[in-house]
């Protein structure tokens, strides 16, 4: 006899269908002690009919979800009730799965489309992706990485050298000192410095005794240029101070891209630096550091060049009667008739400039209002009305730095003279964005310009990265007659105010920081030149007649070439490099500019008539000439 095993299933509408123990069913024609015998085909047919009827009964019942309940009674040991629920939850879950699937497909499709489009456009229009000089060497730079994943991540996602990135606090010290033994440190302490620049700036090929009267006129620095020479507040927490370019040259090796063109034992000098122009006009020549810049070599930081207070109280640059602090003009103090002679000096020899918007805005006194600088330091937190405090107990005097400044005067005609003051630093420390640092480079040239007309100062330009700001002379802060400049931490960008200075990115994510740190008087140690922009000729001046001029003619970079992706110091994110190319020198700062602003003459140049909307500069800390300690009482501040 054949036995088939089926599960007993009953359909109950509106009630719980109890589960019972499996039961055995036999198929026979009639009750008999001896089971009837059937053919296999008959048994299969009967089994099929039974299964079909059971399935039909289940399909007539509503869908249900089982939920456990408590069971009581005598059948609790073999009956487990369940609660029937409609199928809405199952439908919602199915819809949610469909939404997630579509979202995943959409995201992946977008990424793939972006990668394909980006790769296609870079292959067909590479010039569209060049935002800076470094981008011109994209393919070779990416190929310098040894890791396949890094190269693909760089090409497809824009994250290059991700393993090299390091999170740093905004004001943390850059780099680290190399690990050296005690014996090496003692040996270094007892060895005198190998560079002696005592005569580096006095070995020029000029012979002042051979100058005729006409030549002397061409080399003359007007006295008013020194009378109105700017003063620079370096940042109090600065790590990279002003440096001497002669010493800088001692610690570099000229390279053609990454290939040295001289041995490390050879050192370019101020007198022969222009010889490097023989290499394709020095277009691809870089003055590459011999040392690892992240090991903080002393020459790179320039701590020995921190300005020191003058020892001579009767210094010719210190005016006993007029050496007082004059805060910059605010919006409410600005006068519209301050530029009665604006047409005479705004843009000499430039046709039609009177109709331009920048001239109209400057002439009407409607220069763009700046947001007040945020003042993080104690001496900047208060605004003090004029006359509330007595005169300072001692004159605030600028200090001398062993790092010389470079002065270049340019006669523009019509009684207009531009005085360019150049300041050199051996290293530019880039700013931090979201705890990642960008924009480091070896070598850093900064400058400011004072424009004169008939011996009177009219405007001052402050260089800020690749741009800058221009102010009327009356608008800026002054000590005596001399404009005051604030040098930013790390980047050394120049500003007219202390505080925080956001640029480029919104919400202040990227910003410079300035304060009233050591006061530097560049006029105490400067090498002065005159420049004829018509024939591009530089001459040493009557102030420093023996200063060499060959260094000025060098046309290459004053620092390292941006490091390859394979270098552990290098990375790039969102198109911004950790290390970029070193800058070009003063020769390329548009010395023949018609307007005082940097850039093409066709670019707008609005000269601001005040420092900010309602800004008032806080009280200045004064230095006691006897003890050198800061005193916070006194000052002629607004």
Residues 412-425: b if buried by 16+ CB within 10 A, e if exposed: beeebbbbbbbbbb
**Where does 380-524 show beta strands of DSSP type E?**
405-413, 416-428, 432-433, 436-437, 441-453, 456-464, 467-472, 478-479, 482-487, 494-495, 499-502, 511-514, 519-520
Please check whether residue 8 is in contact with residue 20, taking contact to mean a CB–CB distance below 8 angstroms. Answer: yes
The crossing angle, in degrees rounded to 10, of helices 148-157 and 88-124 is: 100
Q: Look at residue 633 and tell me whether its pLDDT is greater than 50.
A: no
Counts of helices then strands in the chain (DSSP H, E): 12, 28
Asked if residue 218 belongs to a domain, the reply is no
Asked if 201 and 548 count as a contact pair (C-beta separation under 8 A), the reply is yes
pTM, whole model, 2 decimals? 0.72
Q: Phi and psi of 398, rounded to 5°?
A: -75, 150
Q: 40-54, 158-172, 225-239: which has the minimum mean pLDDT?
A: 40-54
Higher pLDDT, 227 or 364: 227
Cβ proximity of 325 and 481 under 8 Å: no
CA dihedral 114, 115, 117, 120 (to 10 degrees): 170
Cα dist from 293 to 163, 297, 559, whole Å: 20, 7, 11
Residue 465, domain member (yes or no): yes
Q: Let me know: does 398 contact 622? Beta carbons within 8 Å.
A: no
87-96, 378-387, 438-447, 505-514: range with lowest mean pLDDT: 378-387
pLDDT category at 366 given cuts 50, 70, 90 is low
Q: Is residue 387 part of a domain?
A: yes
User: Quick one: pLDDT at residue 107?
Assistant: 87
* β-pairing verdict for 432-433 and 436-437: antiparallel
Number of Cβ within a 10 Å radius of residue 559: 28
| Higher per-residue pLDDT: 22 or 92 | 92
Rg (CA), the chain: 40
Backbone angles phi, psi at 636, to 5 degrees: -105, 65
Residue 33: pLDDT band with limits 50, 70, 90: very low
Q: E-strand spans in 524-599?
A: 526-532, 537-540, 572-573, 576-577
Cα torsion 45, 46, 48, 51 to 10°: value is 180
Domain annotation covers residue 101: no
- List, for residues 610-630, the tens digit of each pLDDT value: 886 433 333 334 333 334 344
Residue 214 maps to a domain? no
The boundaries of the domain holding residue 477 are: 230-631
* Average pLDDT estimate for 495-505: 87
Burial class (CB in 10 A: 0-12, 13-18, 19+), 599: middle
Say whether pLDDT at 114 is over 70. yes
**pLDDT confidence band for 246 (50 / 70 / 90):** very high
Range among 100-114, 166-180, 304-318, 558-572 rated most confident? 558-572
| Residue 549 counted as domain residue | yes
Q: Is residue 568 part of a domain?
A: yes
Residue-level pLDDT at 50: 57
What percent of the chain is predicted at pLDDT more than 70? 66
| Residue 116 within a domain | no
Residue range 555-564: mean pLDDT, rounded: 96
3-state secondary structure (DSSP) of residue 519: strand
Question: Rounded CA gap, 243 and 236, in Å?
Answer: 17
Last residue of one domain, picked from the residues 86, 120, 143: 86
pLDDT at 476 over 50: yes
Domain boundary residue, one of 29, 59, 86: 86
The count of domains in the chain is 2
Residue 209 has pLDDT above 60, yes or no: yes
Which helix (H) or strand (E) element contains residue 217?
helix 213-218
Phi, psi of 199 (to 5 degrees): -110, 10
Compute the average pLDDT of residues 269-284.
93
Q: Which of 185-189, 320-324, 469-473 has the highest mean pLDDT?
A: 469-473
What is the pLDDT, as a whole number, of residue 544?
A: 93
- Given a contact cutoff of 8 angstroms between Cβ atoms, the answer to whether 333 and 386 are in contact is no
Q: How far from chain centre, in Å, is Cα 218?
A: 40
- Of 30, 55, 86, which residue constitutes the final position of a domain? 86
Cβ neighbours of 318 (radius 10 Å): 18
- Mean pLDDT of all residues belonging to the chain: 76
Q: Output the pLDDT for position 336.
A: 52
């Amino acid at each position: 006899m054949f036995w088939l095993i089926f599960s007993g299933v009953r359909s109950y509408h509106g009630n719980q269908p109890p589960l019972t123990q499996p039961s055995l069913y036999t198929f026979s024609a009639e009750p008999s002690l001896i089971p009837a015998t059937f053919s296999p085909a008959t048994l299969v047919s009967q089994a099929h009919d039974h299964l079909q009827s059971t399935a039909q009964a289940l399909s007539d019942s509503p869908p249900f979800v089982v939920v456990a309940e408590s069971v009581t009674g005598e059948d609790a040991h073999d009956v487990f009730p369940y609660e029937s629920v409609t199928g809405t939850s199952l439908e919602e879950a199915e819809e949610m799965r469909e939404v997630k699937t579509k979202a995943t497909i959409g995201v992946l499709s977008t990424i793939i489309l972006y990668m394909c489009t980006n790769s296609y456009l870079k292959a067909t229009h590479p010039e569209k992706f060049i935002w800076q000089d470094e981008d011109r060497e994209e393919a070779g730079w990416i190929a310098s990485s040894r890791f396949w994943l890094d190269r693909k991540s760089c090409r497809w996602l824009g994250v290059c050298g991700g393993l090299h990135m390091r999170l740093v606090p905004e004001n943390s010290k850059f780099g680290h000192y190399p690990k050296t033994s005690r014996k090496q440190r003692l040996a270094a302490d007892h060895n005198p410095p190998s560079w002696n620049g005592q005569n580096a700036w006095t070995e020029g090929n000029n012979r002042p005794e051979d100058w005729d009267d006409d030549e002397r006129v061409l080399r003359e620095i007007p006295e008013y240029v020194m009378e109105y020479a700017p003063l620079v507040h370096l940042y109090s927490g600065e790590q990279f101070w002003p440096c001497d370019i002669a010493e800088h040259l001692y610690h570099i090796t000229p390279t053609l891209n990454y290939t040295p063109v001289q041995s490390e034992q050879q050192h370019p000098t101020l007198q022969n630096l222009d010889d490097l122009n023989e290499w394709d006009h020095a277009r691809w020549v870089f003055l590459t550091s011999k040392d690892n810049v992240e090991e903080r070599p002393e020459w790179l930081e320039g701590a020995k060049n921190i300005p020191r207070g003058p020892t001579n109280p009767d210094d010719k640059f210190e005016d006993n009667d007029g050496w007082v602090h004059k805060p910059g003009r605010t919006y409410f103090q600005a006068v519209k008739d301050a530029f009665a002679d604006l047409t005479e000096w705004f843009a000499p020899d430039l046709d039609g400039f009177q109709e331009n918007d920048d001239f109209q805005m400057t002439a009407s006194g409607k220069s763009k209002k700046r947001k007040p600088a945020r003042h993080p330091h104690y001496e900047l937190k208060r605004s003090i009305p004029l006359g509330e405090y007595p005169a300072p107990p001692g004159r605030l005097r600028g200090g001398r730095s062993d790092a010389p400044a470079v002065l270049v005067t340019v006669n523009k005609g019509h009684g207009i003279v531009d005085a360019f003051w150049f300041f050199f630093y051996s290293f530019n420390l880039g700013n931090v964005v979201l705890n990642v640092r960008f924009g480091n480079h070896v070598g850093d040239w900064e400058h400011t310009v004072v424009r004169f007309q008939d011996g009177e100062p009219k405007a001052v330009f402050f260089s800020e990265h690749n741009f800058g700001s221009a102010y009327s002379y009356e608008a800026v802060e002054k000590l005596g007659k001399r404009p005051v400049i604030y040098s930013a931490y790390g980047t050394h960008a120049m500003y007219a105010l202390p505080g925080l200075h956001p640029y480029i990115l919104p919400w202040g994510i990227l910003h410079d920081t300035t304060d009233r740190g050591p006061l530097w008087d560049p006029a105490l140690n400067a090498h002065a030149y005159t420049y004829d922009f018509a024939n591009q000729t530089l001459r040493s001046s009557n102030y420093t007649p023996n200063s060499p001029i060959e260094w000025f003619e060098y046309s290459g970079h004053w620092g390292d070439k941006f490091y390859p992706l394979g270098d552990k110091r290098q990375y790039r994110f969102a198109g911004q490099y950790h290390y970029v190319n070193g800058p070009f020198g003063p020769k390329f700062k548009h010395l023949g500019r018609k307007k005082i602003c940097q850039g093409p003459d066709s670019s707008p140049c609005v000269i601001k008539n005040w420092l900010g909307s309602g800004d008032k500069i806080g009280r200045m800390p004064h230095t006691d000439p006897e003890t050198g300690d800061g005193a916070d009482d006194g000052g002629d501040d607004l």
